[in-house]
Amino acid sequence: MVFAVSSQFQGAQMECEGLAKMRLCAPGELCPPAEHYQLRYMQPGLYAHPCGEVLRLAREASTALFKRRAAGAARRARLPTLIHVGCKDLSNDRTKPFYAALFGNRSDLSDPCLEAVMVEANPDVAALLEERLREYFSDFSCRRRVLSAAVCAADAEASFFSLSEQVHTKYSVQELGGVKRWDSWGTLNLNFLLQNLADILARRISDGSDGRRIQVEDLMPFIQERTVTCISPGSLLQKEGLEPSFVDMLFLDTQDALRMLSAFLALGLRPAILRFHWAWDQRQIADQGYATEVSEAVAFLASESYHLYQFGEFFVALRASET
């Protein structure tokens, strides 16, 4: 095993080991469309490592961080701080092994403490999120808060679109393309939701129960629109009483994570451990303009002493001082 994990995380590690077959494409190589989330280029600062190796490096970085924060005056000043934007219910197949690597079975730490700010716009996942937080942080004495909001460019209110849980009473998981919890995520962009529904149904495992294939139109009655609070990165820090230098870990799990990353970095955040979505779907990957944005983000983080690793549709960036 890459590292020791407590029993509740064994399944997560197994899923992670399955991801180890993913690879980065060589420069100029056209990746087969069926192989999702593969980079079309390489550049300085970006490393190709198997999944387990990325988790080992992240574990080492978190250990160094927790031990440094636990020392003397640093412990009295503040706790290690995590902000996770778009955390949903923490059930993503990449999120589970990543949380297990950083926070699971931390008997190697003396009285581990953590301040966690979990930001999620979908109110439907609140109860399950709290349950998962108790599980993932079972070894930590934590100050954890769940903020029901979306992080946006400016403070405002916005429409949030998601599928209601009733969709699972109408259709089976198999009929829904293998997705177990469609109600666990949503978006501020209705067109994005509809396109993702179409993509997943196009890869569906079976036809609908009435003998015809499920179409996006069949799911329209289950789409719900609700008003949510939008908060800017600067307002988020202010609301939580955090200086930019206080944020040790920043996880961005949204379809506009690159732009959100730029906004947080502009405030002066340079967390020891950073994880963000670099791709959400195949159209995004194929867009040359977006590929340029990804390349520029990687180059900037590399110039700021980060080592970056691909982890499925995520990048994991570790400050060199923590590795």
pLDDT digits (tens, 9 = 90+) for 304-315: 999 888 777 788
pTM summary value: 0.84
Greater confidence, 251 or 125? 251
Which residues share a beta bridge with 223?
Answer: 163
Average pLDDT over the chain reads 79
Segment 118-138 shows an average pLDDT of 87
Which residue type, as a one-letter code, is found at position 106? R
Q: pLDDT class for 230, splitting at 50, 70, 90?
A: very high
SS (H, E, C) 205-267: CCCCCCCCCCCHHHHHHHEEEEEEEEECHHHHHHHHCCCHHHCCEEEECCCCHHHHHHHHHHC
Please, what are the domains in the chain?
7-35+47-152+234-322 (3.40.50), 156-228 (no CATH)
pLDDT digits (tens, 9 = 90+) for 81-123: 999 999 988 887 778 889 988 998 888 888 788 999 999 999 8
CB 14 within 8 A of CB 95: no
CB 275 within 8 A of CB 315: yes
**φ/ψ (deg, to 5) at 159:** -85, 135
